[in-house]
Structure 1
Amino acid sequence: MIYLLVLIGLLGCMALLDARYRLFFWARPAAAAAVMAVGLAYFLAWDVWAIAEGIFLHRDSPLMTGIMLAHQLPLEEAFFLAFLCYQTMILFTGALAWLRRREPRTAESAVGGRTTREARP
């Protein structure tokens, strides 16, 4: 149960960052929901494949709920994958926003009938 609560808390922290800087869900909710759904489905399919191949195995832990979504696939794994996808998109969209802010800004000014671009400080 503790692990699930930690994952929910981390998802909440990502949502606070997202809301503060309008990076992902707060910038484009429909597109963000689609990206999250596709990412989560992809990673869950990957997990199911790895479980079938014997690569991933679930071990009982007192920190987990014990609720299984499928054979060897605990509930916490879905929340971890959602966190992984959300964190990746916050990092990606945050990096894009940071790079956009670092680009030199330009101002157009009319000089003698011509338009020139000057870099702003």
Structure 2
Amino acid sequence: MIYLGTLLFVIGCMALLDWRHRLFFFRRPVAATAVMVAGMIYFLGWDLWAIDLGIFLHRDSPLMTGIMLAPELPLEEAFFLFFLSYLTMVLFTGLVQLLTWRAGRHERTEAANGVSA
């Protein structure tokens, strides 16, 4: 239960960051949802394939809920994959926004100094 609570907490932190800077879900919710659904399907499929090959195995832990979505696939794994995908998209869109802002700032500085491109 502690692991799921931690995942929910960090997902909430990512959502606050996303909301504050309008990075992903709060910029383009329909596109963001499509990206997250596609990512979740891909990563859950990957996990199920690895479980079938015997690569991923679940071990009981007092930190987890014990709820299984499929054999060897705990509930927490879905939340972890969501967090991983969300974190990636917030970092990517944040970097794009930062670079766009810096490029615009650089152009304004050049214009103010009388430098033309």
**Cα-to-partner distance string for 1:4-53 (whole Å, 9 max, x where unaligned):** 00000010000000000000000000000000000011000000000000
Shift of 1:106: 4.8
**Cα-to-partner distance string for 1:60-100 (whole Å, 9 max, x where unaligned):** 00000000000000000000000000000000000000100
The 5 Å alignment of 1:1-121 reads: 1-103=1-103, 104-106=106-108, 119-120=111-112
Q: Which residue of 2 aligns with 1:110?
A: none
Task: Give the structure-1-normalised TM-score.
Answer: 0.88
Q: Percent identity?
A: 65
Question: Quick check: which has more Rg, 1 or 2?
Answer: 1
In 1, Cα distance between equivalents of 2:112 and 2:96: 21
In 1, Cα distance between equivalents of 2:111 and 2:55: 55
In 2, Cα distance between equivalents of 1:79 and 1:2: 13
Give the structure with the larger strand fraction: 1
Task: Give the structure-2-normalised TM-score.
Answer: 0.91
In 2, Cα distance between equivalents of 1:44 and 1:18: 24
Amino acid at match of 2:63: L
Structure number with higher relative contact order (C-alpha < 8 Å, ≥ 6 residues apart): 2
Shift of 1:120: 3.8
State the aligned residue count.
Answer: 111
In 1, Cα distance between equivalents of 2:6 and 2:52: 28
Secondary structure of the residue that 1:105 maps to in structure 2? helix
Amino acid at match of 1:119: A
Segments of 5+ residues of structure 1 without an aligned counterpart are 108-117
RMSD of aligned residue pairs (Cα, Å): 1.4
Q: Which residue of 2 aligns with 1:113?
A: none
Give the structure with the larger helix fraction: 2
Shift of 1:119: 2.3
